[in-house]
Amino acid sequence: MTEAIPAGPEQVLTTRSVAALSLRNVSKVFGGTHALDRVSLEVAAGEVHGLVGENGSGKSTLIKVLSGYHVPEPGATITIAGREVAPPLSAGTLRSLGVRFVHQDLGLAPSLTVAENLFVDELGSSRWKTVSRSADHRRAREVFAPFGRVLDPAAKVGSLSPADQAHLAVVRAVSQIRQHHVEAEHQPGLLVLDEVTAFLPSEERQQLFALIREIIAQGDSVLFVSHYLDEVLEITSRVSVLRDGEVVHNAETATLDSDRLVELIIGRALRGQVGVDRAEASNDAVATVTGLRGSLVDGVDFSLRRGEVLGVTGLLGSGFEQVPSLLFGAVPASGGELRLGDAAIDLTTLTPERATQRGLALVPGDRASAGAAGSLTVAENLTLQILHRYRRANTLQRRRLQRDARALLIEYDVRPPDPAAKLSTLSGGNQQKVILAKWLTAGPSLLLLDEPTLGIDVGSREEILLRIRAVAREGVPVICATSDPDQLTELCDRVLIFGRGSIVAELWGESLNKDTITERCYSATVSSGSARQGEYQ
């Protein structure tokens, strides 16, 4: 049911001033799916407008209509800064109206340098006036200067950390909006941030928010898409909630709290059942890692008990983020051994193929490149690890495979639950659910998770955490690498904190809480080597 926009003082203001963006009657149909159903939405000038919704609710489709990638169904009206523009919107039109996007994939060219990415818009235009590389680099440093952190203009973007890449993409977009002010005589711009905070550590996130506050103070507007509801409540002044392609609610953020927002998004309250029964884990070590070494990890030892979910965390770059890939052979280890049951696995020669044969499963954070095959169907992706179960003589039992795949999709609430759909046509969050379902049904001997709920909506996140706990209860040891303290406290029995490649603290029981995790992550950057070792038993 669509609730009316409450009339209030801000509403009067909105209608008087020219809206930064006004969408009316925007629909988009894919096959039989109504990804967007007569969506209307208005972003006021100088406002941060939140756009939230479950996985598959239509957020990306709406942003893609706005960026000109998708053509909406006939009847849609799009007005930017008071000018009605006919879809599909071209890059030139959007640029001339001061609309800039930062998508979750950031849209950077990894083989080009920071400076080249920064000025990519000028290539081929009359503004492109390279005098020399050093002049470009100087200009790049000047662009970064007001944003707090200056990146090396000569560095190749592919070599930057995810946080630095996000910084570059946001700085580029904001500086282009500032350029627009100059060229269009102070016409305000619109910045669209589509899930950009997913890879940002909390400090960077606060820097981004400071930047957002600065640009709205200049009259620009921001459309902010995120699954992180605390961020939405913190930074937005108005929120639109999408469900099944429809705007089901639009309200001032001040009238909402997180419980209400969750209810609006998923149509029910959270069950609040995730939590660790710490009696579940036994004392027997079923997996032991010794001397693990990689480019970010400096020889660490730890073990896992049967039925235990072990969290690994730290600041980005501290090494925790490499642990799942090193244990799976996806990133070559320069040293280390994994003892799993009776087997001793040399991690320096391990490949993903051999890891899979040994029963290891890795759910990577970067699903686009490492987790799945987008060009294959959902059923093919789901059964890749268990195809042998469907072989009889020389034939594949396709009908049984499709039936089981559909049942899995329903169980994991993948929408649409269509085994024949190409994986790439599913929304990001639904793709992640397929990858999890694939590995969890394979019956792993060790489950490795790397930011397992990145891009997952609040309701599905809870379901996934419950499933991971259920796998652990069946006796499977689980390692979860994440920088999300909420996830660590909800999901894990024990947490290892990494600092500069070593384990600097181990938290469990009462010490396993959000504040201690955050504090230990930061203190890891300042404490001395011997103190760090002494703390970890």
Ligand X SMILES: Nc1ncnc2c1ncn2[C@@H]1O[C@H](COP(=O)(O)OP(=O)(O)OP(=O)(O)O)[C@@H](O)[C@H]1O
Binding mask 439-458 for ligand X (x = CB under 6 A): ----------------x-x-
426 belongs to the binding site for ligand X (CB under 6 A) = yes
Shortest separation between residue 419's beta carbon and ligand X, angstroms = 13
Three-class DSSP category at 5: coil
Q: Tell me the DSSP string of 110-146.
A: TTSBHHHHHTGGGTTSTT-----HHHHHHHHHHHHGG
240 belongs to the binding site for ligand X (CB under 6 A) = no
The one among 188, 317, 336, 428 contacting ligand X by CB under 6 A: 428
Strand 309-314 to 494-499 pairing: parallel
Q: Which residues contact 332 (CB under 8 A, 6 or more apart)?
A: 294, 348
The one among 58, 307, 336, 364 contacting ligand X by CB under 6 A: 58
Three-class DSSP category at 70: coil
How far apart are the C-alpha atoms of 494 and 506, rounded to whole Å? 7
For ligand X (CB under 6 A), the number of binding residues is 21
**Tokens read off for 72:** 């909406």
The one among 197, 226, 430, 502 contacting ligand X by CB under 6 A: 430
The one among 33, 240, 313, 487 contacting ligand X by CB under 6 A: 33
Binding mask 456-485 for ligand X (x = CB under 6 A): -x----------------------------
How far apart are the C-alpha atoms of 160 and 173, rounded to whole Å? 18
Q: Calculate ∠ Cα 339-345-351, nearest 5°.
A: 135
30 belongs to the binding site for ligand X (CB under 6 A) = yes
419 belongs to the binding site for ligand X (CB under 6 A) = no
Shortest separation between residue 522's beta carbon and ligand X, angstroms = 30
Say how many C-beta atoms besides its own lie within 10 A of residue 133's C-beta. 13
The one among 253, 427, 482, 487 contacting ligand X by CB under 6 A: 427
67 belongs to the binding site for ligand X (CB under 6 A) = no
286 belongs to the binding site for ligand X (CB under 6 A) = no
Shortest separation between residue 418's beta carbon and ligand X, angstroms = 9
| Closer CB to ligand X, 30 or 128, in the complex | 30
Shortest separation between residue 53's beta carbon and ligand X, angstroms = 5
Three-class DSSP category at 252: strand
135 with 161: CB under 8 angstroms?
A: no
The one among 153, 311, 429, 485 contacting ligand X by CB under 6 A: 429
The one among 60, 67, 240, 253 contacting ligand X by CB under 6 A: 60
61 belongs to the binding site for ligand X (CB under 6 A) = yes
Say how many C-beta atoms besides its own lie within 10 A of residue 476's C-beta. 24
Helix (H) or strand (E) holding 238: strand 238-243
Query: What type of residue is 253?
Result: T
| Closer CB to ligand X, 60 or 240, in the complex | 60
Q: Which residue is nearest to ligand X (CB)?
A: 429
Q: How far is CA 174 from CA 62, 195, 218, in A?
A: 21, 16, 12
Q: In the 3-class helix/strand/coil scheme, how is 36-67 assigned residue by residue? A: EEEEEEEECCCCEEEEEECCCCCHHHHHHHHC
The one among 53, 319, 364, 459 contacting ligand X by CB under 6 A: 53
Shortest separation between residue 70's beta carbon and ligand X, angstroms = 8
425 belongs to the binding site for ligand X (CB under 6 A) = yes
How far apart are the C-alpha atoms of 514 and 260, rounded to whole Å? 23
Chain positions contacting ligand X, by CB under 6 A: 30, 33, 35, 53, 55-61, 415-416, 425-430, 455, 457
